[in-house]
Amino acid sequence: MFIGLINALCKENGSLAIDENNQFVFEGDVLNVDRIFEKKGSSFISELSTYKYNYRHNHDQLSVLAMKNHRFYVISENNLITDTAQDLNRAFHGWSENVEDGMSFDYNMFQPGSEDNIDPTKPVYGSKIYKDILSVRAGKMFAPNVRVVTLAGFKSDEPGDIGEDYAEISQREDYVSKFAILLDGGLIFPTMSDKKTWTYLRGITLPGIDYGKVKDQNYAVNEFRPDGSMSQMSAVVRQIWEYTMCERKAIGSCLREM
């Protein structure tokens, strides 16, 4: 309605579409342009200012106080991680040119007996994420919503605690936080010690974790042998083996082309 009012009030050349009595027609009603300045419940100027703020407000204003009372902006410029997450969501829910290109390389994914087009209904080796995309397309799983999450730091409920950023936490806090993120369905990235914040992905499940049992106190991600050594779950070993097979096939293809 507001956009329609603007179109009725303004001509294509930018001048006002009003008569000698300062009136104009909107949806069959004759309105007086002088009333747009009246401060009623929904005046023209109020609507205009609200529309301008919602449409072109400054993202720098969207900030909060984070650890150590430092200002933290909840909206930032895109980077490689956010662009990749958007590409993955496009691929999960439709199609992404970048993801399709990535699937075409043997070191990312391949299907035995298929050199060109991959059949999503047959076994595929390689990238866990790419295999999930094919499973969604084959109707074997629901499409996840991949998003980037930023860990700003740690803060307790104690009065006066202004928190600690990532550069100040202990190794124990670092380990526990990352382990909790993994069990909660996050995919962590390598972190740099000089960074005050870091990001991770949500929506990508990892092999070797039964997310339906992670809240069970008796659940163990890894199994221990009688001699005390730890045995990784078969799904993890399988995934590592598939990565190795992809590298082997890519090296073989390169040698044949040489």
Give per-residue pLDDT as tens, 135-186.
898 888 899 999 998 887 888 778 888 888 877 888 888 888 888 888 888 8
Q: Are 18 and 36 in contact (CB under 8 A)?
A: no
Q: Locate the domains of the chain by residue range.
A: 2-57, 77-258
Tallying the residues shown for the chain, one arrives at 258
C-alpha span between 74 and 8 (Å, rounded):
37
Provide the pLDDT confidence category of residue 56 given band limits of 50, 70 and 90.
low
- The secondary structure of residue 114, as a DSSP letter, is B
End-to-end Cα, the chain, rounded Å: 66
Q: What is the DSSP string of 122-181?
A: S--EE-HHHHHHHHHHTTSSPPP--EEEEE--B--SSTT---B-GGGS-HHHHHHHHHHH
Look at residue 130 in the predicted model and tell me its pLDDT.
Answer: 92
Give per-residue pLDDT as tens, 90-123.
999 988 999 999 988 888 988 877 766 777 777 8
Closest CA to 164 of 198, 196, 193: 196
